[in-house]
A and B are shown apart, each in its own frame.
Chain A
């Protein structure tokens, strides 16, 4: 069975440009997470979905970040416009449910804003 799939793996953009990341969670997993991980730091939650509903987006910078999970499966995270400080690895993870003891992470998208 395929794990969590993310694309692209790497993205380099100029500041002020838009960028989007895509995530396909493990089949049957209702809970989907987007994390941001800066170099030398642990992952920081940006948003959590239960099916198609965003239930925790308190850490998402809503002035420039947006996310959607249509039909409760795939998800897209967008940044518009990107800033230099947005350079990080964006990780998607999924689990059977919010109370699950294990979340499975994708390989991440490494974003570099120049």
Chain B
């Protein structure tokens, strides 16, 4: 089976940096996704990691360690609009279905 763990909620201050962690245990691994989902909206793609290391994309960066079954999403220079749920999702292998975590609800405060 697949097991993905994320913190349920986090709070951070505008302008600060926040790190959202995700740990996973899956039968096989073929990539890890991060999605952003604002309340009442569809998830939108943020990043996809398949190899170890850090990938930076503007204010958002995503890190993966396959040996540790661990990833994090790093958000810099937080803005109020970053308040949303952040979903970690894992593709176990090949064309197997992507499994989503329960998401981390981030609240950015002034």
Contacts and interface: CB of A to CB of B under 8 A. Distances in A.
Q: How large is the interface on B (under 10, 10 to 19, 20 to 34, 35 or more residues)?
A: 20 to 34
Contact of A107 (B41, B95, B98, B100): B41
Interface residues of A, number: 22
Interface of B: 4, 31, 33, 40-45, 48, 50, 87, 89, 94-95, 97-103
Contacts, number: 44
A105 B48 CA distance: 16
Given A41-B103, A42-B87, A42-B103, A105 B98 contact: no
A102 B41 contact: no
Contacts of B43: 43, 91, 105
A91 B42 contact: yes
B102 A42 contact: yes
B42 A42 contact: no
Given A40-B102, A41-B103, A104 B97 contact: no
A44 B100 contact: yes
A56 B44 contact: no
A45 B98 CA distance: 8
Interface string A39-54: 0111111001000000
Contacts of A41: 102-103
